[in-house]
Amino acid sequence: MRNEQLTPISAKPVKSFFVHMLVRDIELQDAILDLLDNCVDGVQRSESKQNLRKGKPYEGYWAKITLSKSEFRIEDNCGGIPWELHEYAFRMGPAKIDIVKGRRMIGIYGIGMKRAIFKLGQDCTIETHAKDRSYRLRFSPEWMKSDEDWDLQPEEISRKELKGTSIRVSELRGPVSQDFESENFRDTFSDAVATHYAYIIHRGFKVYLNEKLVEPKPIRLLFSQPDDVAAAKHKIEPFIFTATHEGVDVFLAVGFAEGRTIPSKEEADDSFENYKEIYSSEHAGWTIICNDRTVEYCNKTALTGWGVSGVPQFHMQFRAISGIVVFSSDDPSRLPTKTTKRGIDHQSVLYMYVKDKMIEGMKIFTQYTNVWKGKELVDESRQYFTETSKATLYELKARTKKLKMSSTRGVLPGSQYKPDLPPRPVTPKKKERITFSRPAKEVRVVSKFLFDSPDKKPSDVGEECFRLILKEALE
């Protein structure tokens, strides 16, 4: 055995891991939303707690995003990055500085902004104007390539009255440049902002994409009011649950969504002609919000209770059912989110408790849907839906304060409101469904014979055949 002294082994991180490998864990759209989250976190740092509790605390704040083939840019007026927080903002991983507690922020891992920059391109310049200082720094292509150089050299710049931050990324990665040039990607991203940021936009925030203001697409649930036409005979309200657990406030509501109707069994069946075009499940499922940011949008999987503990798997029949869960905390580390800030940590103990309530609420509405799905009852149910008021998330919270809530016990004690939906309707005369398939050529021949046209719908052809045979049988 040799007696030579062993040299120290370096455990220094390799920068290329962060620049090239870490970005694989996040989609391009989510990376940009991460940067948008940082803008909102800036508002949380800038405003007083009292103002943040108001109905529209984001009034007057904005973020402007520009996507082009050659560069990405995001700028805001959300207070800037104070110099005292530079280590938190620019260091890889969470710095030893406690700035998130006491504020309803969402970024705690210290990788969001950097990962987004690396996802976008090879050259990034950041300019920020905060109350304490204005400065600029750059992630250069040389810095990106060097595993030895970890330092960023800031440069003091002239002060501006408008307090905010701008991030410009050039030398875009090839796929990113192609996506930004695609109208389809821009439209898809705009829709993502309109849905994921609907609640924040409703509370006053403005987001511009390529100079166009993004209009929100909030989810509204049916919530009967005393002056509704249908209130006296068919009252429709959501299931609501509220609780506070270890510093996290929970608000849950599930019910029937605005503009969604219950399809009949025939319409929801896969064999129904053109049902996918006629009916959409886009806004069905569960939306989960953490500190005002949407982390799951219209999820219809087992993650949110579909197909679990007696709840059926999602089907077009349940397209009218929608739910919202809001987690709020002054300590973001307690929120059940993933590091990407998009998606729920399904192993979170708190989320598992809340999921039980999500399942309890869903059962009320899936059972109602099962009862009213008959073709003879659907039209009546749809009329009740159109005669019922709707409520946004903000309105749901306000109306909840006026409800007579019941206390709940168990692992997650809280308060809940269980709606008294209309009882089972009188069952009309039983009808049978006849379904069979024949070659398309034969269907066209019969269609020509019966209607003097080969282009009638197969359902019309079958209906007319049955009518003629029934008439003959009754004679």
The pLDDT of 249-277, averaged and rounded, is 70
Amino acid letter, 353 = Y
pLDDT in tens, 389-401: 999 998 999 999 9
Region 363-387 average pLDDT: 78
Judge if 182 and 49 occupy the same domain: yes
**Same domain as 287, residue 144:** no
Which pLDDT does position 109 carry in this prediction? 47
Q: E strands within 39-196? A: 62-67, 72-76, 121-129, 134-139, 155-156, 164-172
Q: How far apart are CA 47 and CA 132, in angstroms?
A: 15
pLDDT at residue 23, rounded to an integer: 77
Q: Which residues pair with 416 in a beta bridge?
A: 241, 406
Same domain, 172 and 310: no
Contacts of residue 67, Cβ cutoff 8 Å, sequence gap at least 6: 180, 185, 186, 189, 209, 210
Confidence of residue 361 (pLDDT cuts 50, 70, 90): very high
Across 55-59, 131-135, 257-261, 422-426, least confident range: 422-426
In a domain, 426, yes or no: no
Say if 54 falls within a structural domain.
yes
How sure is the predictor about 278, in pLDDT bands with cuts at 50, 70 and 90? very low
Please report the pLDDT score of residue 316 as a whole number. Answer: 83
| 136 pLDDT more than 70 | yes
Do 325 and 411 share a domain, yes or no?
Answer: yes
Query: Which of 101-105, 124-128, 187-191, 225-229 is predicted with the least confidence, judged by mean pLDDT?
Result: 101-105
pLDDT at 55: 78
Average confidence (pLDDT) over 265-282: 53
The C-alpha angle with vertex 256 and arms to 248 and 351, in degrees rounded to 5, equals 25
Task: Note whether residue 2 is domain-resident.
Answer: no
Parent domain of 234: 222-417
Q: Do 49 and 161 belong to one domain?
A: yes
Q: Which among 17-26, 171-180, 261-270 has the top mean pLDDT? A: 171-180
Domain co-membership, 110 together with 239: no
Task: Provide the whole-model pTM.
Answer: 0.76
Residue 107 has pLDDT above 70, yes or no: no
pLDDT digit string (tens) for 60-96? 999 999 999 999 999 999 999 999 888 878 877 655 5
Q: Is residue 441 part of a domain?
A: yes
Point out the domain boundary residue: 171, 191, 213: 213
- Cα(299)–Cα(340) distance, rounded to whole angstroms? 17
Residue with the two structure tokens 């009916």: 279
Verify that 247 and 334 share a domain, yes or no. Answer: yes
Answer yes or no: is 1 within a domain: no
Asked if residue 264 and residue 185 are part of one domain, the reply reads: no
| 119-129: average pLDDT | 95
Residue 6: φ, ψ to 5°: -75, 135
Mean pLDDT of 319-340: 87
Is 473 within the bounds of a domain? no
Q: How far, CA to CA in Å, does 23 sit from each of 28, 116, 125, 176, 340?
A: 9, 7, 19, 12, 10
Find the length of the chain.
Answer: 475
77 with 163: CB under 8 angstroms? yes
Is 98 a domain residue? yes
Q: Alpha carbon of 389 to those of 9, 133, 324, 393: distances in Å? A: 67, 50, 17, 13
Q: Do residues 344 and 439 share a domain?
A: no
Answer yes or no: are the C-beta atoms of 157 and 109 closer than 8 Å.
Answer: no
Which of 213, 234, 266 is the C-terminal boundary of a domain? 213
**472 belongs to a structural domain:** no
Kindly state whether residues 89 and 164 are assigned to the same domain. yes
Same domain, 176 and 27: yes
Q: Is the pLDDT of residue 438 over 50?
A: yes
Q: What pLDDT is attached to residue 62?
A: 97
How many domains does the chain contain in total?
3
Q: Which neighbouring-strand residues pair with 74? A: 65, 167
Share of the chain above pLDDT 70, in %: 87
Average pLDDT over residues 265-285: 57
Residue 279, pLDDT > 50, answer: no
Query: What average pLDDT score do residues 215-243 get?
Result: 89
Does one domain contain both 248 and 396?
yes
